[in-house]
Copies of this chain bind each other. A is one copy, B any other.
Amino acid sequence: MTPSPGPERLERVGESPLATTRILELRNVRFRSSRRGTENDYTVIAAPDWVNVIALTADGRLVLVRQFRFGIDDFSLEIPGGVIEPGEDPVEAGQRELREETGFAGGPVHLLGSVHPNPAIQNNRCHLVLVENAELRGATEWDPEEDIEVTTVQADEVLAWARSGRITHSLVVCGLFMFEQWRAGRGCARSV
């Protein structure tokens, strides 16, 4: 339907930081189009990769966390997750975030898949990790400002909540999408 040769791969020719915060850098990134003979600046959010964790208990429940979220100025029901440290393996990061936020741990652990939170404007990925046989094994280790309600809910109910709008975090929905395929026996990206 589109005349060849299809969309052009633009050339990244420069960038300038607009603002830097604890969690991200906002940049103007300049791209050149050879076909059009133009250069334009685009907003890009640069951030470390993130990880979200589906923690499945032996009796088929998922570990959920409920927190006040500053972006939406309201509470949000989610799965555990956070920022991957420099050089940290995504699967190990998932286990760490699960342990710190909830005190749960388990295994085996799988990488269910990875998504781009927003390819249009954001450079990072979010990895989705499954921890089987999750159980409460220790105390939480919250950052000073963290204030988290931890619960476990039957997996089918959690999936229904994602479908009904009680769970709204897009990256949590992605994790549940991949969990559902894994549960149906359609495999996953990597097991450890």
A residues contacting B by CB (< 8 A) are 1-2, 6-10, 12, 18-19, 21-24, 26, 28-29, 31, 33, 38, 40, 42-45, 66-76, 78, 113-123, 125-126, 136, 145, 147-151, 162-163, 165, 168-171, 173-174, 176-178, 181, 186, 189
The interface residues of chain B lying within 8 Å CB-to-CB of A169 are 115-116, 118-119
Main DSSP-derived SS at the A contact region: mixed
- Whether B7 pairs with A23 at a CB distance below 8 angstroms is no
**CB nearest neighbor in B for A47:** B121
Q: Return the 3 tightest CB-CB contacts between A and B, nearest first.
A: A69-B119, A42-B70, A21-B43
The interface residues of chain B lying within 8 Å CB-to-CB of A121 are 23-24, 70-71
- Whether B21 pairs with A67 at a CB distance below 8 angstroms is no
- Whether B116 pairs with A117 at a CB distance below 8 angstroms is no
C-alpha spacing A72/B121, complex, angstroms: 8
